[in-house]
Each structure stands twice: as C-alpha cells, then as structure tokens.
C-alpha cells in the first residue's frame, strides 16, 4: 500500500542554520512527490514537486528537495533557515486523484 513516512515529528533549528526534513515513501511505480507547508492560520501551500527528470527540484522560499529512488526518499532542504519558516511541513505522494500525506514535521526556529 502507498504510504509516506516523516520520521521527525518536531525539529528545532537556529535562524541561519541549515535544514533537512526527511521523507520516505512506499509506492509501487514512479511516484509523484510533493512538499507542502502550513503556516499558522493558513492553508496548505505547495513548496515544490517532483514528477520526473532532474532529481533535484527547486521550490519556493529557497527550498529544494532531492528524489532518491534507491532510498525511497524525498528530503526537503534549505541552506539557511529564516524565522518565517517556522511552520508544519508535509510530504505527500500523488496516487490516482488524491494525495497521501505523511504525519508532518513541525519546525521551530530560534533567533
């Protein structure tokens, strides 16, 4: 069955530090992969997606993610975190006409 695992429930980083949020998926075919972010009081916003081609994808707000088929991973990275990045991040895989999400990682940023 299709599933997405985000092993880190909560991550705390200092502003300016680098960030990596982990995501592993289970899917039988070539996956369509997404990262969404939810800031307080806001809806889910698409950060980036991978469908095919270059395995390193760039997104909005300076985020990038790398698809590694051999590891079934799609980790999200940012070289330097800003206080406004504090939010909850969701990895998802597209399946038929729906999204299958992970449990989310809450990011806290200290000044």
Contacting residues toward other proteins, per CB under 8 A:
4, 9, 32, 34, 36, 41-46, 49, 51, 90, 92, 94-104
Residue 19, classed as helix, strand or coil, is strand
Q: Pick between residue 15 and residue 94 the one whose CB is nearest to other proteins.
A: 94
Nearest in space to 48 (alpha carbons), one of 89, 9, 84, 13: 89
- Nearest distance, CB of residue 101 and other proteins, angstroms: 4
Q: Pick between residue 13 and residue 95 the one whose CB is nearest to other proteins.
A: 95
Question: What is the b/e burial string over 90-111, where b = at least 16 CB atoms within 10 angstroms of the residue's CB?
Answer: bbbbbeeeeebbbebbebebee
- Nearest distance, CB of residue 89 and other proteins, angstroms: 12
Q: Pick between residue 5 and residue 15 the one whose CB is nearest to other proteins.
A: 5
């Amino acid at each position: 069955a299709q599933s997405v695992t985000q092993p880190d429930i909560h991550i705390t980083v200092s502003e300016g530090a680098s960030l990596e949020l982990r995501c592993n998926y289970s899917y039988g075919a070539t996956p369509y992969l997404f990262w969404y972010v939810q800031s307080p009081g806001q809806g889910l916003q698409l950060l980036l997606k991978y469908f095919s081609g270059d395995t390193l994808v760039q997104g909005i707000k300076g985020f990038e993610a790398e698809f590694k088929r051999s590891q079934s991973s799609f980790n999200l990275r940012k070289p330097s975190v800003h206080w406004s990045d504090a939010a909850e991040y969701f990895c998802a895989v597209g399946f038929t006409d729906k999204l299958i999400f992970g449990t989310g990682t809450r990011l806290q940023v200290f000044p």
